[in-house]
Amino acid sequence: MHVLDCGTLVDGVSDSPVANGQVLVDDGRVVDAGPAEHVDVPDDAEHVDHSDATVIPGLIDAHLHLFGSRSMEPFDWMRESSELGTARATADLRKLLGSGFTSVRDVGSETGLALRDAVDDGTIPGPRVYTSWRSLSQTGGHGDSHYLPYEWANSEAAGGGLADGPAECRKEARKRVREGVDLIKIMTTGGVLSEKDAPDQSQFTDEEIQAFTEEAHRVGIPVASHAQGAPGIKSALRNGVDTIEHGFYIDDECIELFEETGATFVPTLAIMHRLVTEGADHGVPEYGLEKASNARDAHFESTRKAYDAGVPVALGTDFLGPELVPHGKNALEAELFVEEIGMSEHEAIVAGTATAAETVADDDIGTLEEGKHADIVVFEESPLEDISNLHEPSTVYKGGEEVAL
């Protein structure tokens, strides 16, 4: 048993940081955490001195892709083998863990299931992986490879992620449950990096969305929806989707549905910011650059609207691995929450810990409370004073064990 003596503690639960805090850890779990005078520390507990540092729960990226790609050209993603992607994504997991992200939600990849299991059995170092494996799209939707002949785009080699009609959607959801996914990922609108659709175009019918959510909820896992335009956001929320990803065009009715359903919003500001500011230098197709530029201001405004209304907003980057959107730099999302949305530094940290944890079916992460995994990140330079310090952890613990940075 050991105790971390903290200069400042963010536990993910309290409304404000705790000065002179302690975290008591045993067998990889938190035994107690809070102000030092309230934590009952055994006499034989080993003390670890972080008394000049800020200590927070392990960070969570609630929306990324473990593609292992190094290109921003979608056609390259199709041509590269899953073996190459897995090898590169293994390196990406090390970067994520070293940067303080002790859990990630992979919302669409070929590699996620294998990587999750390899991390869990100790074969490779990395954050806890919660994965949807292959995402699901209607024919001609955001997840369709528009530049390929249909027969190729719907093949197993291309991901086999197309489904049309309630019966097919239900069966595809069941296939993923059979594979052991942690969530189902669907697309209820078009998107930026899909060639022949648009963010404001709705996709999947109510009956199709219901088929996905019924099958997922039957086995206790959530459904995430890529949803950028307001009609597609509303149809997702009305039909049981648990998290809305991106949300470029949120209106008042969307806000009401968030409040009614308790769904979490994962805006992924970071990828849009990088697409608009640097995408042209990194091979992003022209159609993607144009759509990102057109939606950027609305995206910020929608996120402010949701935040101001009290909608739970979680940290997620939509980072993929290439130089433009590299794993390891995922704290950019928290910077944008502070600089563009108006969150306090403490709120941005909570968005990347306690709130992000609400996107997965695991009650053991996201906060420093009794019984939870002792996933902890330490900062010599406090992110509560400058959120950009979130990029520079001095020590990372996963399951109570210090990670080699």
Rg (CA), the chain: 20
Quick check: do 2-57+367-402 and 59-330 share a fold? no
Look at residue 158 and tell me whether its pLDDT is greater than 70. no
φ, ψ of residue 279 in degrees (nearest 5)? -60, -35
Structure tokens at 350: 């909570």
Q: Is 227 helix (H, G, I), strand (E, B) or coil?
A: strand
Above 70 in pLDDT, residue 277? yes
Q: Residue 80's pLDDT is what?
A: 85
Q: How many CB atoms lie within 10 A of CB 237?
A: 24
| Band of residue 133 on the pLDDT scale cut at 50, 70, 90 | very high
Look up residue 6 and give its two tokens: 């903290």
In percent, the amount of the chain with pLDDT more than 90 equals 88
Taking the CB of residue 20, how many other CB atoms lie within 10 A of it? Answer: 13
**Cβ 288 vs Cβ 275: under 8 Å:** yes
Burial class (CB in 10 A: 0-12, 13-18, 19+), 40: exposed
What pLDDT is recorded for position 405?
78
- 77 pLDDT band, cuts 50/70/90, is confident
pLDDT at position 105: 98
**Would you state the pLDDT for residue 100?**
98
Strands (E), 256-314: 264-266
* pLDDT of the residue at 390: 98
Residue 142 φ/ψ, nearest 5 degrees: -60, -35
Minimal CA–CA distance to 234: which of 217, 249, 214, 223? 249
Query: What pLDDT shows up at residue 128?
Result: 98
Domain boundaries, the chain: 2-57+367-402, 59-330
Non-local (6+) Cβ contacts of 242 within 8 A are: 222, 223, 224, 263, 264, 359
Lowest mean pLDDT among 10-14, 112-116, 198-202, 274-278: 198-202
pLDDT band at 316 (very low <50, low <70, confident <90, very high): very high
What is residue 197's predicted lDDT score, i.e. its pLDDT? 86
The position carrying tokens 């939600």 is: 105
pLDDT of residue 45 exceeding 70, the answer is yes
Mean pLDDT throughout 364-392? 98
Mean pLDDT across 263-276: 97
Give the pLDDT mean for 284-291.
Answer: 90
> 257-283 burial, b if ≥16 CB within 10 A, otherwise e?
bbeebebbbbbbbbbbbbbbeebeeee
Cα–Cα distance measured from residue 13 to residue 72, given in angstroms and rounded to the nearest whole number: 38
Mean per-residue pLDDT of the chain: 95
Q: 240: which DSSP letter?
A: T
Which pTM value belongs to this model?
0.96
Which of these ranges, 72-86, 175-189, 308-322, has the smallest mean pLDDT? 72-86
Per-residue CA distances from 326 to 64, 236, 394 (Å): 10, 29, 20
Query: Is 59-330 in CATH node 3.20.20.140?
Result: yes
pLDDT exceeds cutoff 70 at 156: no
For domain 2-57+367-402, the CATH superfamily is Urease, subunit C, domain 1 (2.30.40.10)
pLDDT at 157 over 60: no
In this prediction, residue 76 has a pLDDT band, given cuts at 50, 70 and 90, of: confident
Q: What is the pLDDT of residue 102?
A: 98
pLDDT of residue 193: 81
| Distance of alpha carbon 55 from alpha carbon 395, whole angstroms | 9
Confidence check: pLDDT of 32 > 90:
yes
